[in-house]
Structure formats: structure tokens, C-alpha cells
Amino acid sequence: MTNKTLTLYGRVFIEAHIEAKTGLHIGGSGSDLEIGGLDKEIIRNPLTKRPYIPGSSLRGKMRSLLEKMYGLPFNKTINKVSIHSCETKDDYLRCPVCTIFGIPAPTDPQDWQDTITLSRLVVRDAELTEESAQKLQDARTDLLYAELKTEVAIDRVTSAATPRTMERVPAGAVFGPTELVFSLYEQADYERLKTVIEGMQLIEDDYLGGSGSRGYGKVKFTQIKVYARSKNDYGTPQTFREFDSVQELADAFDELQAWLQENVPVA
């Protein structure tokens, strides 16, 4: 697909915990309860039965919010969902989102043969912490590690009421650590890392999971640690700093960029 030499110069790791500030619902595949019981269940680790935050949910929400912030066109439909995906090489090279999250294979690879198109960002799942799991067990929640919230949907025409019961992780639960792993391939990637941090800020200001307009899914990144690995000595990670909030990390971006240029040089 490309005639360019692809060199991985290093990786930046943003490690963080995620605290649910309001009840969190990230849906599972179905319910084990009977009709009239639970309508929507949360996703759980099948081995531990504990809820977790999939990296795909975190990454997908981040991409969606960044596309909206930059006003990018939703020009591609996948499974009835509209997304943005650059269709020309020139658009891709200017795009602050596709250069980080990647694009589907171009319809005419020949036109892209001198351009590297790949995903620079990996986002890991975030498991419920041991401390939070113990607190939820001690609280004897409605279900294991979760609460039930009954809501009533009102038909605006007939005024008919339809009750439904949602499963969600209670506010105060903490997940993590999760990892956001950003790969450095070229000089422009130093500046692109800023977009990843912006994506974290956008998630805090929006919501994660479902039913956000009804108050669910407000989250906060905490215990943030930034470190990196350089190809010059990949086995030895180098720590930048620790932060209490995403805002602190964003405020230190110029310092982080200078530190990366010195410790993870891109030729």
C-alpha cells in the first residue's frame, strides 16, 4: 500500500484511572432476567462478572467527539452509523482525526502509494479496580457490582407510560488503569498527540456509554501518568510526569512536547 519506509521511533503512554461521576451504562449483549425484569444490562468480564469499560467504547467516543469539534463531514456509513473518513490523500494529510485513528482501505490504493495511512492510537480496556469492587460488594447493590434504575418513557401523543429498568455501575466506581498508547512515526506526531489530550477533555465534558442526555455517563480521568519508550532503548521506559487531571496534562503539553523531542527523537 505504500512505498515509504515506515519507522516506529517510539511510543507515548498515557495511563489513567476513570471515575464514574454519575451512573454508567455501557451495554452488554443481552439480559439473563425474565420478561418484565431488566431491559438493558451492562457489559461484564465473563470470568469475573465485573463491569469494565471497553477500549473500543472509549476510543470510539473520543473519535466521534473530535470529528464534531473539528466540523468534519460524516461521509461514510457503516452498519447504519455515519462516520467521517477522508477519501483523498490531501484531505487525509490535513485531517487531525484520521491521521490518528486511521481510515478504511482506500478504494484506489495506487493514489495513496506514497502515503502512510495507519492508526497511531491504541486504547486498552479499563477493568473495575479491586477497591471499587470491594466497596460495591459491601454496599450490597441491587445486582452484582451494579444498581437498577427504573425509568418511565412517556408517549408524547397518547401519554402512555412505559416503564423500563436499566442496569448501571453506581457513581463513584473507579476503573483502570487504562492505557492510551500513541505511536510516533514522524515529526508531525508530536503535535498530533495534543489532539488525543483534547479527546480526553471532550469525553469529560460529554458522557461515556448510553443515556447521557438523561444524566448517565459523566466520567473523570484521574491518577494520570505519562511515560514513553524510545526505539533507541525500547526496554527502558522514561517517565515524564504524573497529573491529577486532564486539564493539568493539557496545560503542560508544550513541556511534554519538548521532553518527547529530546527523549524520543524522530529523525
Q: CA-to-CA distance for 14 and 6, rounded, in angstroms?
A: 23
Residue 85 CB burial class (10 angstroms; 0-12, 13-18, ≥19): buried
**Which of 153, 171, 137, 147 minimizes the C-alpha distance to 41?**
147
The 3-state DSSP class for residue 266 equals: coil
Q: What is the pLDDT of residues 45-98, one digit of tens each?
A: 999 999 999 999 999 999 999 999 999 999 888 777 788 988 888 888 899 999
Contact 167, 143 (CB under 8 A): yes
The CA-atom distances, in angstroms, between 135 and each of 49, 144, 251 are 15, 11, 34
State the angle between helix axes of 253-263 and 188-205 in degrees (0 to 180), rounded to the nearest 10: 140
In the numeric block, which cell numbers belong to residue 86? 477522508
Cβ count near 110 (within 10 Å): 7
Please determine, for residue 2, whether its predicted confidence score (pLDDT) is greater than 50: no
Considering Cα of 172, then 177, then 183, then 184, what sign does the dihedral take? positive
**Which of 146, 125, 127 minimizes the C-alpha distance to 57?**
125
High-pLDDT (> 70) share of the chain, %: 90
Residue 185 exposure: Cα atoms within 13 Å on the Cβ side: 15
Q: What is the mean pLDDT of the chain?
A: 89
Alpha-helical regions (H) of the chain: 55-69, 89-94, 98-101, 130-138, 188-205, 246-251, 253-263
Element (H, E) at 100: helix 98-101
In the numeric block, which cell numbers belong to residue 92? 487525509
Q: CA-to-CA distance for 77 and 91, rounded, in angstroms?
A: 18
Please determine, for residue 35, whether its predicted confidence score (pLDDT) is greater than 60: no
The CA-atom distances, in angstroms, between 244 and each of 12, 89, 130, 247 are 18, 39, 20, 9
In the numeric block, which cell numbers belong to residue 195? 489532539
Alpha-helical regions (H) of 175-245: 188-205
Q: CA-to-CA distance for 74 and 83, rounded, in angstroms?
A: 5
The greatest distance separating any two alpha carbons of the chain, rounded to the nearest whole angstrom, comes to 68
Q: What is the pLDDT of residues 160-205, one digit of tens each?
A: 777 778 899 999 999 999 999 999 999 999 999 999 999 999 999 9
Judged by average pLDDT, the poorest of 36-40, 110-114, 136-140, 197-201 is 36-40
